[in-house]
Amino acid sequence: MVEHFDTVDEYIASRPDEVQTILQEIRRRALAAVPGAEDRISYGIPTITLDGHYVVYFAAWKHHISVYPVPDGGEDFKREIAPFRAAKGTLKFPLGKPIPYELIEKVATLLAERGRQRNGY
């Protein structure tokens, strides 16, 4: 059965308490990192948007939190994300280990900058 959520709050509330706390912090930090951003559900998961364009998606899975897509960055950034890279466009953060919120903020900021350059918003 596929879950359907109308709001990010519904999505977060559907997860275990300890995961809700992580998702709320990711949401808070991503919104703060992208001034003027909003959130909504897209493709069934929470999405941070800016002027109607997606910036970053995040989702909770059984054993990890995923953040999509992965922005390009310099060599230092590539080294920083390397331990979490699961696929070309996915970062996975294992549950039960500290979540690198500052890194997720950096991802959201870089994606917003790329979006502004690409889409002119």
Banded model confidence at residue 87, pLDDT cuts 50, 70, 90: confident
Phi and psi at residue 90, to the nearest 5°: -135, 135
H helix or E strand, kind and range, residue 65? strand 64-68
Domain ranges of the chain: 8-119
How does pLDDT run across 13-62, given as a tens digit for each residue?
Answer: 999 999 999 999 999 999 999 999 999 999 999 999 999 899 999 999 99
Please say whether the structural domain 8-119 has been given the CATH code 3.40.50.2300: no
- Residue 36 CA, chain-centre distance (Å), reads 16
Which ranges of 1-121 would DSSP assign to H, the alpha helix? 8-13, 17-33, 75-81, 101-119
Please give the model's pTM, rounded to 2 decimal places. Answer: 0.91
* Cα separation values, 38 from 11, 33, 64, Å: 15, 11, 24
pLDDT number for residue 91: 97
Mean pLDDT of the region 62-77: 94
Banded model confidence at residue 117, pLDDT cuts 50, 70, 90: confident
**Is residue 37 within 8 Å of residue 48, measured between CB atoms?**
yes
pLDDT number for residue 118: 78
pLDDT number for residue 82: 95
103: pLDDT strictly greater than 60: yes
**Is residue 50 within 8 Å of residue 115, measured between CB atoms?**
yes
Structure tokens, 67: 């953040």
